[in-house]
Structure 1
């Protein structure tokens, strides 16, 4: 028959704290010289749900990794937009670029935890005026560039 041993209260406390901090049952079993089942029993007695702790850690790690990856992609999007801007020559290209940059800005604010306000242009007339304004700005920019080239 297997010999049973009483786990000292100090070990119980240390094991419970280590479990909450993210240590695995296998690690602690090796460290303290107890069977894994003993570590799980200590966790259960301390009210620690081992599945929840590990799942929470995995979820947190995945969320942090995903956020870092999303921020990296957003930054690449901003870099690409900056690289494309000098090449824009047509009004519709500038309009498309502006929409893309606005979307990137909005998504970045969401990632940074800043609230973004949803505003919709509900009338066709307002959308058309906005498109016309963007087209006009693009035409002015193109004219300025052409004037600059002719003078240079």
Structure 2
């Protein structure tokens, strides 16, 4: 009768795969089930590879919190867009339209930041854009007023 070894050697290929998976954030329990090793073996591989499992778990928790926070911010942005869309039909005055446009532009910028599409801007350029928008809206208001006055004079 041949005595079976109590433990089996983990092949180098498995060690490498497990270490990479742990470094990427996989859980020791998940890897133990996947490879059929005891969880202590997975922790030993992590220790030998210089991976601090406490740090990995902290990173996982931090990543989960960051993902939750991002989802919440996106939800709030979407609510802001819905509110802006609901308000638009009620806007009657140019200054209200200007304020609405600035609010929507801010929402768009925030959304682009969340999506990783941020553009580099300086405070001066955003102030300049706000001033140009105000000028255009004032110009539109003056045209509208002139049309209304012309309509009253003709009628």
Aligned residues: 152
Partners in 2 of 1:79 and 1:44 — Cα distance?
51
- Cross-structure match for 1:80: 83
CA RMSD of superposed structures (Å): 5.1
Is residue 121–residue 127 contact of structure 1 (8 Å, CA) maintained in 2?
no
TM-superposed CA distance for 1:70, in Å, is 1.5
Specify whether residues 137 and 16 from structure 1 end up closer, same or farther in structure 2 by C-alpha distance, changes over 3 A only.
same
Partners in 1 of 2:51 and 2:128 — Cα distance?
60
Note the residue ranges of structure 2 that are not aligned, 5 or more in a row. none
Given the two structures, how large is their TM-score scaled by the length of structure 1? 0.63
Given the two structures, how large is their TM-score scaled by the length of structure 2? 0.62
Specify whether residues 38 and 97 from structure 1 end up closer, same or farther in structure 2 by C-alpha distance, changes over 3 A only.
same
TM-superposed CA distance for 1:78, in Å, is 1.1
Specify whether residues 48 and 144 from structure 1 end up closer, same or farther in structure 2 by C-alpha distance, changes over 3 A only.
farther
Moved more, 6-15 or 66-75: 6-15
